[in-house]
Amino acid sequence: MKPINVGLLGIGTVGGGTFTVLRRNETEITRRAGRAIHISVVADKNLALAKKVVGDSVRITDDAFSVVTDPKIDIVVELIGGDGIAKELVLKAIENGKHVVTANKALLAKHGTEIFAAAQKKGVMVAFEAAVAGGIPIIKAVREGLGANRIQWIAGIINGTTNFILSEMRDKGLPFAEVLKEAQRLGYAEADPTFDIEGIDAAHKITILSALAFGIPMQFDKAHIEGISKLEAVDIRYAEQLGYRIKLLGITRRRDNGIELRVHPTLIPAKRLIANVEGAMNAVLVQGDAVGSTLYYGKGAGAEPTASAVIADLVDVTRMHTADPGNRVPHLAFQPDQLSSVPVLPREEIETAYYLRLRVEDKPGVLADVTRILADQAISIDALLQREPAEGEGETDIIILTHVCIEKQADVAIAKIEALPAVKCSVTRLRLEELNG
């Protein structure tokens, strides 16, 4: 059978890894795909870099648009990133009847619905395993492996930078700013780390997973996002004392009246497998009504792990290439005309439990006032920690773990607590999830 022709856009970390792995495992990959997967051309603005990576073995160009309009190219692999030029190139590739394989989470989270509609109309495939959790085949698991289930929720450690930082903060007891510097030095965080540490990257990925799991359009703009830059080492210590770890989780959950879509530091029980995922590793926990709980763990980033996902998609697309478009795996696991209009819930409607840390004057009645306020909002207390103030100090910390309630109840309670004269400064609030079904 003739080889399938691939145009690679972007020869950076992932592009280089894709090229390398395709070459190294060519025999196994060809055996699995049933035909050779041939990179016909590599496009990158930096021709010198391209030449360095691919040598003389492949034609190189700095004109990416020539690739997406070239009639000899069957599949375009977009590894440029971002939602600028990448969006134009992807849409042009689709317009020209080419399948697309991409690792671009930002592009899909913001423009996925438009891109998939265009692809559906044209009868081409858009595959994106590499966009979420690197080499872990999570997209395939949710879209196909768990296809018999009504997904109830997904919770994931899907950003290696923040997970590395949190592991270090816990292991060494150091403050965030210091660990961030170390992470940058070691290459786990970028010079401008905002996307990662403020949770935006994780939000892109959980947005994609929510669309897949619930058959809704991608609604990144509705996600509630909080990163780790305000997390204090003292809260990691208190959480540990109470039997919890703090992880930056991307969470999406089906509720009666809508879908939750959120990213934030979360206390999770230390005994959960996912609580023991350390360093730059990723893990995604999925709860389905038939299968129950399944967990997927592995490297979430890196040249070869991400390339593993890109090439798995290339093999899939190659296999599907001659199939009737109506019978291909729908990009979003649901046929596009079947997308649900269930709304993404606003922050105030989130249903979760809380860790609250208050700094209070050590005088009688404070605890009674605080617990009364919570009771008035129908918020039950699961655990409470209060310590004797140190000698001479008139202030102490009170730590409260609540049971599940609605965020707007917590908002009201916290505002009232902060208004108490004995409560010094604002209340630290972290969400808590038991993750047990």
Q: Catalytic site residues?
A: 205
Residue 426 to residues 28, 82, 138, 237, 419, Cα–Cα distance (Å): 58, 37, 39, 19, 9
Q: How many residues bind a copy of itself (CB under 8 A)?
A: 68
What's the min distance (Å) between Cβ of 309 and a copy of itself? 8
Residue 95 CA, distance from chain mean position: 29
Single residue of 338, 380, 426, 436 touching a copy of itself by CB under 8 A: 338
How many Cβ atoms from other residues are within 10 Å of residue 379's Cβ? 23
Residue stretches of the annotated binding site: 9-16, 105, 190
| Residue 274 vs 370, nearer CB to a copy of itself | 274
DSSP run (H or E) holding 246: strand 244-255
Q: Among residues 222, 250, 211, which one has the least CA distance to residue 330? A: 211
β-bridge partners, 41: 7, 59
Write the DSSP symbol of residue 338: G
What's the min distance (Å) between Cβ of 376 and a copy of itself? 40
Residues of span 241-280 touching a copy of itself by CB under 8 A: 273, 276-277
| Residue 194 vs 340, nearer CB to a copy of itself | 340
Single residue of 324, 388, 391, 393 touching a copy of itself by CB under 8 A: 324
Beta strands in 345-437 (DSSP E): 351-361, 381-386, 395-402, 405-406, 423-432
Residue 59 contacts by C-beta under 8 Å, 6 or more apart in sequence? 40, 41, 42
Site membership for a copy of itself, residue 123 (CB under 8 A) = no
DSSP result, 77-140? EE-S-SSSHHHHHHHHHHHTT-EEEE--HHHHHHHHHHHHHHHHHHT--EE-GGGSSTTS-HHH
| Residue 324 vs 393, nearer CB to a copy of itself | 324
Residues of span 207-236 touching a copy of itself by CB under 8 A: 215
Site membership for a copy of itself, residue 341 (CB under 8 A) = no
| Residue 134 vs 193, nearer CB to a copy of itself | 134
Tell me how far apart the alpha carbons of residues 36 and 39 are, in angstroms, rounded to a whole number. 10
Residue stretches of the annotated binding site for L-homoserine: 190
Single residue of 56, 185, 322, 388 touching a copy of itself by CB under 8 A: 322
Q: What is the dihedral of CA 21, 27, 30, 32, to 10 degrees?
A: -90
Stretch that binds a copy of itself, among 16-24, 114-122, 238-246, 424-432 (CB under 8 A): 16-24
| Residue 100 vs 370, nearer CB to a copy of itself | 100
Residues found near a copy of itself in the complex (CB under 8 A): 1, 17, 21-22, 24-25, 28-29, 31-34, 129, 134-137, 140-141, 144-150, 215, 273, 276-277, 288-299, 304-305, 307-312, 314-316, 319-324, 326-330, 333-335, 338
